[in-house]
Structure 1
C-alpha cells in the first residue's frame, strides 16, 4: 500500500511546528507575566513562601497559575488563523485577561475582607485559602469566556 502525501505536506508540517513553537513562547511569556502579576499584587513574596512549603501559598499560587492558563488557552484558541494576527491577538487578549483577572481577585478579596497576608504566611492550612483559590479559578474562567 502506497501512501500519497500532498505536495505541500512538508511545508505545512514545518509551518505547523513553527506555529506551535511561537504560540508556546507567547503562552510561556504570558504565564510568567501572570505569575508575577499575582505575586506583585499578593502580600508577601509568593515564590519564597511556596519554596518554604507553606500550604496556603501553594494553593493560592497553583490556582492563580491555573486561572492564567484558562485565560491564555482561550486567548490562543480564539485567535486568528493568520499566524501573525493570531500571535498578536493572543498576546493582547492574554494581557488584558491577566489584568482583569488579577484586579477582580483583589477586589473580591477586599470585599470579603480576607487577610491574604496572614492566610498565605500561615504554616497550617487555612480555610480562607480555598476561598481565594476558588476566586482565582472562577474569575479566570469568567475572563476566559469573556475573551471568547
Structure 2
C-alpha cells in the first residue's frame, strides 16, 4: 500500500513538473507575442487585458496536461512523454491562433492586449486559447 502511495506521489511530482514547465513555456509564449514585459504589465501595472490572455493560455495548458494524464499510457514514461508532446503542440497551436487573429483583424493584437483600457478583442483571444486547448484535449482522448 505504501509503495503504491509513494509511486503515485512520484508520478504526481513528475507530471506536475511537466505541467509547470509547460506553463512557464505558456508564459514565455504570451510574453513573446505581446510588447513589453508581461510580468510587469500584469503584476506592476495591473493590466487586466494581459492577465486575461495569460490566464487563458495557462488554463488551456492545464486542460491539456490534465487530459493527457487522465488518458495516459499504461507505461509511465510514454504517458509523461505524451503529456509533454501534447502540451507543446497546444502551445504551438495557441501561438498560431494568436497570429491568425492578428492577421485578420485591424491593428496589432499584441499591442491591443497590453493596452490599459479594456478591449473586447482580449475576450475573443482568450476564448480562442481555451477552444484550441479543448481541441487538443479531444485529440488526446
Unaligned regions of 5+ residues in structure 2, if any? Answer: none
CA drift of 1:45 comes to 2.6
* Structure-1 residue corresponding to 2:35: 43
Matches within 5 A, 1:1-148: 9-51=1-43, 52-113=45-106, 115-148=108-141
Return the TM-score normalized by structure 1. 0.83
| Residues 15-39 of structure 1 deviation map (CA, whole Å, 9 limit, x = unaligned) | 1111111111111111111221222
CA drift of 1:66 comes to 1.1
Where 1:145 maps in the other structure, the secondary structure is helix
The alignment's C-alpha RMSD in Å is: 1.8
CA drift of 1:110 comes to 1.8
**Distance of 1:20 and 1:134 partners within structure 2:** 29
* Contact 1:43–1:116 (Cα < 8 Å) also in 2: no
**Distance of 1:136 and 1:93 partners within structure 2:** 15
Unaligned regions of 5+ residues in structure 1, if any? Answer: 1-8
**Distance of 1:98 and 1:58 partners within structure 2:** 17
Counting matched residue pairs gives 140
**Distance of 1:77 and 1:105 partners within structure 2:** 28
Change (3 A) 1:143 1:101: farther
| Residues 54-98 of structure 1 deviation map (CA, whole Å, 9 limit, x = unaligned) | 121111111121122222222222221221221112112211221
Where 1:67 maps in the other structure, the secondary structure is helix
